[in-house]
């Protein structure tokens, strides 16, 4: 993990807009060649942070290093970074070819060489043969590809992507996510993506920094982030998390003994308890898919708890149930894959729910 060199480093980056404290001490490193995402709700400072890399935003204090060099000494137009803008920023008065080749203008290449490189870049994003088209006549997905080709043709060290998929419809977005991952593997450039879509971040990233109110709440790989969130806020932002109030009986190096409402007493391993004290009281969280409904004749591999079905949401491949566990005031959400021989339960049905203490996350 640590054999990769650092491409971008933030050292206690602070940014004020007048009185507004937009970035509150960001310290983090982005490794060379990784697909890194800045994830957070709107207004959390993720775009501002991205723009400090591009050089469109000055920082109030701290430092941003790009490939070991202090970025403050490099003006925006000389940084080894290129950006794909949220609006794509395709130059509307130029053709696709002229857009893609725009960054090469200063290199004063021979016409054939320029044509060859533009052609290569267009082929790479699947727009071969579109060169002569007027840029404004393209569809959203095509503009997105032109913007990618235009940024990648300069072979930057870092490609910055500012919510590049948010303007596309769902199908197109999912397709572009996969294409971007493939493209990133192919070119081997460090990608830094800004997104508010947790699913997009999980699908695409090697590592994700979750940001709230100008601070990084957690920086981890997608699986760790999903399975062992450090705070309730991160847990709620990424996917769905059920919470049950808990009382900590003992807390040690091997884990914690807790009394959980509705589930009883259980041991939570230390790896499943990454959080520090929040002052809000302890609770235990678990993902919907870690609970399973037990049908007649099935027995739990670990533990089971009785409950009543409150709500049924049918999604075709999945069904979501809100189940009121006996002895708990608020229902928990669980998801079941729909397979033959597993009927969808009715509202008010009594059921048994299987769970495992290994899937619980303790928030102190």
Please choose, from the candidates 151, 102, 94, 87, the residue with its C-alpha nearest in 3D space to the C-alpha of residue 125.
151
* Least separation in angstroms between CB 97 and another protein: 14
Among positive and negative, which fits the CA dihedral 268, 198, 29, 15? negative
If the CB atoms of residues 149 and 282 are measured against another protein, the closer one turns out to be: 149
Of 139 and 240, CB closest to another protein: 139
Closest to another protein by CB, 135 vs 234, is 135
Q: Measured in whole angstroms, how far is the alpha carbon of residue 159 from the centre of its chain?
A: 17
Q: Whose CA is closest to 288, among 260, 266, 313?
A: 313
Residue ranges that bind another protein, judged by CB under 8 A: 54, 56, 76-78, 81-83, 85-87, 89, 91-93, 102-103, 105-106, 134-137, 150-151, 154
Residue 334 near residue 291, CB atoms below 8 Å? yes
CB of 353 to another protein, least distance (A): 50
Name the minimum Å distance from CB 286 to another protein: 42
Q: Report the nearest approach of another protein to the CB of residue 11 (Å).
A: 23
Residue listed under structure tokens 């857009």: 99
Pick the closer one to another protein by CB: 54 or 209: 54
Contact 152, 82 (CB under 8 A): yes
Judge contact between 238 and 203, C-beta under 8 A: no
Cβ-based neighbours of 338, under 8 Å, separated by 6 or more: 316, 317, 318, 319, 344
Q: With respect to another protein, which residue has the nearer C-beta, 105 or 265?
A: 105
CB 282 within 8 Å of CB 247? yes
Instruction: Report CA-CA distances (Å) from 127 to 144, 147, 150, 245.
Output: 11, 11, 12, 54
Of 135 and 180, which has the nearer Cβ to another protein? Answer: 135
Cβ at position 272, least distance to another protein in Å = 43
DSSP SS3 for 80: coil
Q: Report in angstroms how near the CB of residue 87 gets to another protein at its nearest.
A: 5
């Amino acid at each position: 993990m640590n054999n990769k060199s650092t491409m971008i480093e933030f050292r206690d980056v602070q940014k004020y807009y007048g009185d507004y404290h937009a970035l509150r001490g960001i310290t983090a490193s982005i490794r060379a060649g990784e697909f890194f995402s800045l994830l957070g709700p709107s207004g959390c400072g993720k775009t501002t942070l991205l723009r400090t890399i591009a050089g469109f935003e000055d920082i109030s204090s701290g430092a941003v290093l790009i490939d070991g060099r202090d970025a403050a000494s490099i003006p925006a137009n000389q940084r080894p970074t290129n950006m794909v803008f949220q609006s794509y920023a395709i130059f509307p008065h130029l053709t696709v070819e002229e857009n893609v080749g725009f960054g090469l203008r200063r290199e004063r290449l021979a016409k054939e060489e320029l044509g060859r490189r533009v052609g290569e870049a267009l082929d790479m994003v699947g727009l071969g043969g579109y060169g002569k088209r007027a840029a404004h006549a393209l569809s959203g997905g095509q503009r997105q590809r032109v913007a990618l080709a235009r940024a990648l043709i300069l072979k930057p060290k870092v490609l910055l992507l500012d919510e590049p998929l948010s303007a596309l419809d769902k199908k197109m977005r999912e397709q572009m996510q996969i294409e971007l991952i493939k493209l990133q593997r192919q070119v081997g450039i460090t990608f830094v993506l800004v997104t508010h879509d947790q699913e997009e971040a999980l699908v695409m990233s090697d590592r994700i920094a979750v940001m709230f109110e100008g601070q990084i709440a957690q920086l981890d790989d997608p699986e760790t982030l999903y399975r062992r969130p450090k705070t309730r806020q991160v847990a709620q932002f990424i996917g769905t998390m059920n919470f049950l109030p808990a009382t900590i009986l003992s807390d040690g190096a091997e884990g914690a003994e807790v009394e959980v409402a509705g589930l009883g007493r259980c041991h939570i391993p230390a790896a499943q308890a990454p959080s520090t004290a929040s002052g809000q009281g302890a609770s235990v969280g678990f993902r919907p898919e870690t609970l399973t409904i037990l049908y007649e004749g099935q027995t739990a591999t670990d533990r089971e708890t009785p409950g009543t079905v409150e709500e049924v949401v049918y999604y075709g491949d999945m069904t979501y149930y809100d189940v009121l566990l006996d002895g708990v005031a608020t229902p928990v959400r669980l998801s079941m894959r729909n397979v033959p021989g597993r009927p969808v339960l009715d509202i008010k049905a009594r059921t048994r729910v299987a769970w495992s203490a290994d899937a619980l996350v303790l928030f102190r």
